[in-house]
Structure 1
Amino acid sequence: MRRAHTVAQVRDAEAVLMRSLPEGALMQRAASGLAHAVLDLLDGGYGRRVLLLVGSGDNGGDALYAGCALLRRGSQVAAVLLGGSHHEEGLAAFRAAGGRVVVDVAGEPRPDVVVDGIVGIGGHPGLRPPAVAALAAVAGVPVVAVDVPSGVDVDTGELDGPHVVADVTVTFGTHKVAHLVGPAAGACGAVHLVDLGLDLPEAPVEALQAADVAALVPRPRPEDHKYSRGVVGVRAGSETYPGAALLSVAGAASGLVGMVRYVGSAADQVRAAHPEVVGDGRVQAWVVGPGGGDEAADQLAAALATGVPVLVDADGLAHVRPGQAAVLTPHAGELARMLGTERDAVEARRLEHARRAAEEYDAVLLLKGRHTLVVAPGGRTRVTTTGLPWLATAGAGDVLSGVIGALLAAGLDPWDAASVGSWLHGAAATLAAGDGPLVASDVAATLPAVVRSLR
């Protein structure tokens, strides 16, 4: 499990650890990890030009001590001091090691890498003009951020004003919320974690990894039969959008349950494509809404009347009321309509709006996106880090709804079903796409291979 903690949690854990270590030992650990990450990016240090952008906080100290290590490896290291005061011991060590402090970035030879030590995890979103100017002077040079890209909101993943866009972020002790939650996650690049040995509490945000998914995916027991493995029902599609029914059923019929039932106006098309799918009957969960159009309200009412967990997506979201659904799966535009706000507001503050909707609708809320959020009432959050941009294709959400519905029917609780389903969906897209495009049906067809790979 990849866990992301808040600034306050990290600060408290660091304070406890520092009481048991010699003064400065924690910063030296961080600086060593940072230096090694820079060396990996450069494929060695000898003769390389490194520019440190150094702010007044501890991240500036980390950058300066990392600069000392890089100087010892033969790099040419210069530092630009931004802000008022700076880490005195780190600056003295940097100068003693042969590092140069410069003022005019534009007058320096173009560096091979820039180390962003401008603002630490306690900083506010946005950057001051001198930092913006320094970054502009080295635009196009690879950037390694210290802990987080400077200028992002660490605890929310929000962006407000100028900020660093890093190629690599080296973080210490634990991941921070901004590493996982968009839009800030998109500014982090590849995230490298340096373990500091912190004793941390439960994380408010986490991301499943392959081993976690393998442990959660339901697998049939020797004594199981098709009914005991779970039966999922799909009420989706319409005369106008029969394809949504086919895709939702394809996701549901990927082998995760013993039986799939379909009820709707696209029954003939569904049976032709999926002869193993049967008609109405008893189920353990329903999927409602994809492509439902004018039929979505009746589809939802019929599913709710059965008393089993219901996943609501797409057209069904316009008709759902608080307390009715187990899982809701909107994209940003749909969530904006559910909350009576604008799509831009949801995209800018994804975590805030997803948590608000989970509370208001008393359901697990899955907010689709590059880093999909799965939020339970109470605020507990999982982030899906599988997937790739090619997954932004028509019908992909219909497949996702079927996968999650199947996992609900197989016995996972809504929280696990939504987060495991989202992980599998993203992993299947990555496997199906390779280096090129894909369509939604490719994702459904690849799901069994992803599940097999987890063994």
Structure 2
Amino acid sequence: MRTAYDVETVRSAERALMARLPDGALMQRAAAGLAVACADLLGKVYGSRVALLVGSGDNGGDALYAGARLARRGAGVTALLLSPDRAHAGGLAALRAAGGTLLDAESDAAEEAVSRADLVLDGIVGIGGRGGLRPRAARLAEAARGLVVAVDLPSGVDADTGEVHGDAVRATATVTFGAYKPGLLVDPAREYAGALRLVDIGLELPEEQAVLEAPQHADVAALLPEPTGESDKYRRGVVGVVAGSARYPGAAVLAVAGALHGGAGAVRYVGPAADAVLARFPETLVSAGPPAKAGRVQSWVIGPGLGDEADGLLDVLDSDVPVLIDADGLRLADVRAVRARTAPTVLTPHAGEAAALLGVARDEVEGQRLSSVRALAERYAATVLLKGSTTLITSPGSTVRVNPTGTPWLATAGSGDVLSGLTGSLLAAGLHPLDAASAGAYLHGLAARFASGGAPVSAQDVAHAVPAAWRDIHTS
């Protein structure tokens, strides 16, 4: 897992390490890694123009020391001091000694120095910063025309939550030290961070203290079920799907597609779209309903394309197997009925549906994704997969997981129906709800990348690409 830690945990680890190192050694480690990353981005350091946006904290010191290293390699480095009286003294001395130039950020030449730079280094505020940039800092950041590299995280974003309140630096890349911070992995802040590079400075951070996890191929490979010689369709898992309506029969087809391509031994479909489902997937077991009489299943998926048809919802909620609720099912389900379930429940809302479930505005969910997914999990006593530009998954009391796969082309009609069926198949295979939702989101996003290749993609394309994504995870 790629792990992220909150500010206080990182600072505590830094204090412990600094107590064992010579004075200033930790900052020098950070600056050395920062300078290497900047040199890699520039390609040619000698003769390049570098502007440092320097605040009063340690991030400003990191920028100054990194700037000094670049200056010694032949770069023309100008430091714009936003708080001249409080800039890091050692960093200032190092930059002067290396031939760098110091400039008051309030001077008339400041914006020109930034706009002419090949690379701008953002050392305005550190991980403890709150709120947006002050006007002068915002204008200087806006003036950048070259590469922008953020020191530890883009100034103006919240390291712990990923929230952005006001102006913030939009970085080409972020060089972060010791550990990822949650804001670097969660939108809206993630969009400001650009490409991420982690510099190891020797911090000791136990995984159990992480507040955010991003699964990688190996993590998902360890979760995905593998049939054995003794497996049959029932042992592999049977998914029940209650989806579709006369108006939205395609939702049923796509949910079934996700389940069948996601490893289910069999899919039982209950609903009015049986003809459409059988025309596309004749292996599906169809039933006129109700769900309680459809036959044995190991999980239920309910909601895609139901419209206002609540028939079967109580049957599904009363069952003793894991249930995934999506789309119209989220609107029709009662919070008390969901909380009363003894078997696991997974909710898969997008931001608008999450806002309705929480009784808040959609903008609040989109701007506060971490707190929103946690609030939903607690309120409904369920595992929640909050879909969006960054998909977040958590259960009550669990570490939040962020899905690292996907593509903007995945924002297409029906893709969520495929995700529901896919995740339902993993629930039927016996995965823990948090693992099923995490693996489902990961496979879904990876399949979309494969199906798209940088071009538009349909939900059916995504479903068909799931086996290729599955193979890639196991062979990488």
Other-structure match for 1:122: 128
Instruction: For 2:312 and 2:193, locate their aligned partners in 1 and report how far apart those are by CA, in whole Å.
Output: 42
Instruction: For 1:336 and 1:266, locate their aligned partners in 2 and report how far apart those are by CA, in whole Å.
Output: 29
Instruction: For 2:2 and 2:308, locate their aligned partners in 1 and report how far apart those are by CA, in whole Å.
Output: 41
Does the aligned pair in 2 maintain the 1:332–1:343 contact within 8 Å? yes
Structure 1 counterpart of 2:116, from 110, 115, 124: 110
Q: How does 1:297-316 map to 2 (within 5 A)?
A: 297-316=310-329
Q: How does 1:264-413 map to 2 (within 5 A)?
A: 264-279=271-286, 280-295=294-309, 297-320=310-333, 321=335, 322-323=338-339, 324=341, 326-413=345-432
Does the aligned pair in 1 maintain the 2:262–2:423 contact within 8 Å? no
Aligned: 1:453 with 2:472? yes
Instruction: For 1:255 and 1:340, locate their aligned partners in 2 and report how far apart those are by CA, in whole Å.
Output: 33
Instruction: For 1:270 and 1:222, locate their aligned partners in 2 and report how far apart those are by CA, in whole Å.
Output: 30
Instruction: For 1:352 and 1:428, locate their aligned partners in 2 and report how far apart those are by CA, in whole Å.
Output: 28
Aligned: 1:99 with 2:100? yes
Aligned: 1:178 with 2:172? no
Cα offset, 1:319, TM superposition: 2.3
Cα offset, 1:255, TM superposition: 4.4
Does the aligned pair in 2 maintain the 1:5–1:205 contact within 8 Å? yes
* Inter-CA distance 379–255: structure 2 relative to 1 (3 Å threshold): closer
Instruction: For 1:431 and 1:47, locate their aligned partners in 2 and report how far apart those are by CA, in whole Å.
Output: 41
Where in structure 2 are there 5+ consecutive unaligned residues? 287-293
Question: Aligned partner of 2:185: which letter?
Answer: L
Does the aligned pair in 2 maintain the 1:326–1:414 contact within 8 Å? yes
Instruction: For 1:424 and 1:442, locate their aligned partners in 2 and report how far apart those are by CA, in whole Å.
Output: 13
Question: Aligned partner of 1:212: which letter?
Answer: D
Question: Aligned partner of 2:434: which letter?
Answer: W
Identity of aligned residues (%): 59
Does the aligned pair in 2 maintain the 1:236–1:299 contact within 8 Å? no
Question: Aligned partner of 2:281: which letter?
Answer: H
Instruction: For 1:133 and 1:312, locate their aligned partners in 2 and report how far apart those are by CA, in whole Å.
Output: 46
Aligned: 1:434 with 2:448? no
- 1:12-47 Cα shifts (integer Å, max 9, x gaps): 011111112121111111111111111111112111
Instruction: For 1:144 and 1:32, locate their aligned partners in 2 and report how far apart those are by CA, in whole Å.
Output: 14
Q: How does 1:7-18 map to 2 (within 5 A)?
A: 7-18=7-18
Cα offset, 1:172, TM superposition: 0.5
> What secondary structure sits across from 1:450 in the alignment?
helix
Instruction: For 1:331 and 1:29, locate their aligned partners in 2 and report how far apart those are by CA, in whole Å.
Output: 41
Structure 2 counterpart of 1:210, from 198, 217, 221: 217
Cα offset, 1:379, TM superposition: 5.0
- 1:134-162 Cα shifts (integer Å, max 9, x gaps): 12332x32210000000001101001011
Does the aligned pair in 1 maintain the 2:238–2:265 contact within 8 Å? yes
TM-score (norm 1): 0.97
Does the aligned pair in 1 maintain the 2:262–2:426 contact within 8 Å? no
Question: Aligned partner of 1:131: which letter?
Answer: A
> What secondary structure sits across from 1:98 in the alignment?
coil
> What secondary structure sits across from 1:260 in the alignment?
strand
267-276 or 438-447: which moved more? 267-276
Cα offset, 1:385, TM superposition: 1.5
Does the aligned pair in 2 maintain the 1:105–1:137 contact within 8 Å? no
Where in structure 1 are there 5+ consecutive unaligned residues? none
- 1:92-135 Cα shifts (integer Å, max 9, x gaps): 11111111012332343701010000000011121112211212
Does the aligned pair in 1 maintain the 2:236–2:264 contact within 8 Å? yes
> What secondary structure sits across from 1:294 in the alignment?
coil
- 1:236-274 Cα shifts (integer Å, max 9, x gaps): 001110000000000000041211111111111111101
> What secondary structure sits across from 1:246 in the alignment?
helix
Does the aligned pair in 2 maintain the 1:45–1:70 contact within 8 Å? yes
Other-structure match for 1:42: 42
TM-score (norm 2): 0.93
445-454 or 18-27: which moved more? 18-27
Does the aligned pair in 2 maintain the 1:52–1:114 contact within 8 Å? yes
Other-structure match for 2:140: 134
Instruction: For 2:9 and 2:39, locate their aligned partners in 1 and report how far apart those are by CA, in whole Å.
Output: 30
* Inter-CA distance 373–107: structure 2 relative to 1 (3 Å threshold): closer
- 1:57-84 Cα shifts (integer Å, max 9, x gaps): 1111110111111112211111001125
In the alignment of these two chains, the number of paired residues is 453
Cα offset, 1:86, TM superposition: 1.1
Other-structure match for 1:86: 87
> What secondary structure sits across from 2:8 in the alignment?
helix
> What secondary structure sits across from 1:35 in the alignment?
helix
